[in-house]
Amino acid sequence: MAKLYFYYASMNAGKSTVLLQAGFNYRERGMRTLMFTAAIDDRAGTGVIASRIGLSAPASAYAAETDLFADIAASHAESTVDCVLVDEAQFLTRAQVWQLARVADDLGIPVLCYGLRTDFRGALFEGSQWLLAIADVLTELKAVCACGRKATMNLRIDHEGRAVTTGQQTEIGGNDRYVALCRRHFVAAQAGLHQP
């Protein structure tokens, strides 16, 4: 039975690397995958999944209005799809998470989603909230804080490396804008008591 999976972590935990490896494993066995990434994240180019270790692959870019179920069902009707992989899953809408659940339930295709759990304020993203609510399997990937503890939080920093505590939920960036920290150091940095 196909399932909806959510692999979540803070930044720098290797989510995109794990996704690309999973896609490679399917294709190596002659299976067809569909890969999606958020159109809003164009750091490596629109429709490209890229990891910090240099791996990348083309993907279909989705926006808030994309009907993922319709796109996947149409592709599956042309040629069997064995797995769907979604990067930057925190940017999914509630409706899209339910569409992906239908892909698993109605089409029998496993759906593997990878994304952040929380934003720079410690609040859930919409896609993450709904994946945590309805996914069949939840798996936390681990990142490490500079202190050696598990990093679970994403601290946004300014150009001087100071914590940013206000602003839009989504601001695309990498290591130049975000630092993965344990909860203790995240709280201290937001209070100005600790430099990331």
Query: Which residue numbers are catalytic?
Result: 88
- Tokens of residue 134, six digits: 């309805």
Distances (CA, A) of 116 to 6, 7, 53, 84, 144: 10, 9, 18, 18, 15
Is residue 12 packed enough to be buried (19+ CB in 10 Å), middle (13-18) or exposed (0-12)? middle
User: For residue 14, which of 115, 113, 94 has the smallest C-alpha distance?
Assistant: 115
CB-based contact 142:9 (threshold 8 Å): yes
DSSP state of 159: T
Structural Rg of the chain based on CA atoms: 17
